[in-house]
Amino acid sequence: MRRSIVLMLAWVVCVAGSAAWAQAYPTRPIRLVVPFPPGGNVDTFARMLAQQLETQLGQPLVIDNRGGANGIVGCDIVAKAPPDGYTILGTSFSFVVNPSIYRQLPYDVVKDFTPITAYALGLGYLLTANPALPAHSVKELIALGRNKDNPLRYSSAGIGNGTHLAAELFGLKAGIQMLHVPYKGGGPALTAALGGEVQITFPAVAVGAPYVKAGRLRALGFTGAKRVPSLPEVPTIAEAGLPGFQFDSGWHAMFAPAKLPYPVLTRLYTEVRKALEVPKVREFLAAGGYEARADPPPEFQKRVASDIRLYAEVVKAAKIAVQ
């Protein structure tokens, strides 16, 4: 009995200490690892959210861009970091696609991470072309794509990235084959289309819209179910000549290393949810073709597991080679 009382008191002290520690957290800058180069939508949204979180937490969130291997390099850094809340990951749903694309990952996407929350859900990608391409509509693009002697080239943010899957699904539904040119992130993929290295790219709205409005890219369609409010003149791909086509651009989310203390997890989730209630944050996401989310950690954890299975089926259907 005496031993049980001692153990119970020790547990109470640990819980109280943990809660007190979380209340004080953070006491120093937080490193937010973005596993893609600057300029893409993952980086853009992470920076926007970080600015608001800095105001709420009273500590800087230092963006650390670690591009490479469709996000694997940056994810590995976070997986091996101490689970103290001072190193977190801001990434896209490519996180759950990679297990189906790569034979061996240096981490386990389920066991080595603590899901915090999905903070944005993408409604779709823009289908854009370099203005030099003689295609002004989806139908004209498909007609050009049927020329097997001169296949269309498209850029993506990496093998297995959402931009890659969207393009492969488009080609599959349209009955054309395009040449895939992968880059190390959305920024370099966009630059390739702007410079004429490739003819087609599927950027997120937040990234591609400024170039469409400036006339440096031609928007032929939107992959989502409805037209995006910030570019109402751009039809959906289904409207523009490929009935039934639809592909959303997945979620953006935050993760921490495995075994993150529950009070710190709760604090981070609470602050992200509070940030997403700020009008300018919600408006920024909406303009980029995304809707604000704040999935609770247990709910998001279930989605991560189900999405791993879902995208394994998509990768198989698109016949994307395992690396």
How far apart, in Å, do the first and last CA atoms of the chain sit?
58
Residue 15 lies in a domain: no
Count of domains observed in the chain = 2
Type and span of the H or E element at 273: helix 262-275
Same domain, yes or no: 90 and 104: yes
Residue numbers in the chain where pLDDT is lower than 70:
1-23
Q: What is the pLDDT of residue 70?
A: 84
Same domain, yes or no: 208 and 131: yes
Residue 269 lies in a domain: yes
Same domain, yes or no: 65 and 208: no
Domain residues for 165? 126-222
Alpha-carbon distance of 163 to 88, in angstroms, equals: 24
- What SS3 state is found at 65? strand
Q: What is the pLDDT of residue 315?
A: 84
Q: What is the pLDDT of residue 311?
A: 85
CATH number at residue 195: 3.40.190.10
pTM: 0.75
Residue 10 lies in a domain: no
Same domain, yes or no: 114 and 261: yes
Same domain, yes or no: 95 and 54: yes
pLDDT in tens, 32-62: 999 998 988 899 999 999 999 999 999 999 9
Q: What is the pLDDT of residue 203?
A: 94
CATH number at residue 96: 3.40.190.150
